[in-house]
């Protein structure tokens, strides 16, 4: 049976990964595709980018509603002061993982919760560090062939075999690495008077 939340909850994302994560808290939400240009602005930092896009995604859905809470999220990886996106091709995934071998990559996840009724917006940026062990070319090729992480920033799925690539993880919420920091989201929901336990 699907539980009911009041006010209604919306996820401004069609990401399967984010929907699966949010389902850990509640199944009472509607996923909607946001219409947002994700092109970085000139001189925009990674933190500013994910903050702006998470809020823009939430607002793009909230602006069409009379009431409800809308969750927006955006994530980038940073390595050597450079924003790292999704690889999209096997060749790019090999390049990314080869660069990361033996190094630490920081993931920044922007999270926004917008109240469509009041216009109140809460936005946070959650960091998470991933340190890769030294990887052989054969390990990189085998991992990519097995898991096909071509639609994932950083070329891995930490919830799957990607965990074998790391020597350590450091952050407040491992869910943020997958794209939705549930600990922070729960706090934002509580600020709006929504307790998923009650």
Q: Is 137 a catalytic residue?
A: no
Q: Catalytic one among 74, 137, 141, 173?
A: 74
Q: What does residue 142 show for φ and ψ, rounded to 5 degrees?
A: -65, -40
72 Cβ neighbours under 8 A, 6+ residues apart: 12, 13, 34, 53, 54, 55, 56, 57, 58, 59, 60, 61, 110, 111, 112, 113, 114
The enclosing H or E element of 54 equals helix 46-62
| CA dist., res. 11 & res. 13, Å (int) | 5
Helix (H, G, I), strand (E, B) or coil at 114: strand
Q: Which of the residues are catalytic? A: 74
């Amino acid at each position: 049976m699907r539980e009911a939340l009041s006010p209604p909850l919306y996820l401004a994302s069609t990401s399967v990964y984010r929907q699966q994560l949010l389902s850990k808290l509640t199944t009472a939400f509607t996923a909607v595709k946001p219409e947002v240009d994700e092109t970085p602005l000139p001189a925009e930092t990674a933190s500013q980018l994910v903050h702006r896009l998470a809020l823009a995604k939430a607002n793009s859905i909230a602006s069409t509603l009379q009431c409800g809470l809308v969750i927006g999220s955006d994530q980038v990886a940073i390595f050597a002061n450079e924003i790292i996106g999704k690889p999209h091709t096997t060749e790019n995934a090999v390049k990314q993982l080869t660069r990361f071998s033996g190094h630490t990559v920081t993931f920044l996840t922007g999270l926004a919760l917008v109240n469509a009724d009041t216009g109140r917006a809460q936005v946070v940026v959650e960091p998470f560090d991933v340190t890769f062990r030294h990887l052989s070319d054969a390990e990189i090729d085998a991992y990519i062939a097995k898991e096909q992480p071509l639609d994932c920033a950083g070329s891995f799925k930490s919830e799957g075999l990607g965990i074998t690539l790391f020597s350590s993880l450091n952050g407040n919420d491992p869910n943020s690495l997958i794209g939705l920091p549930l600990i922070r989201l729960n706090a934002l929901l509580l600020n709006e008077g929504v307790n998923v336990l009650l």
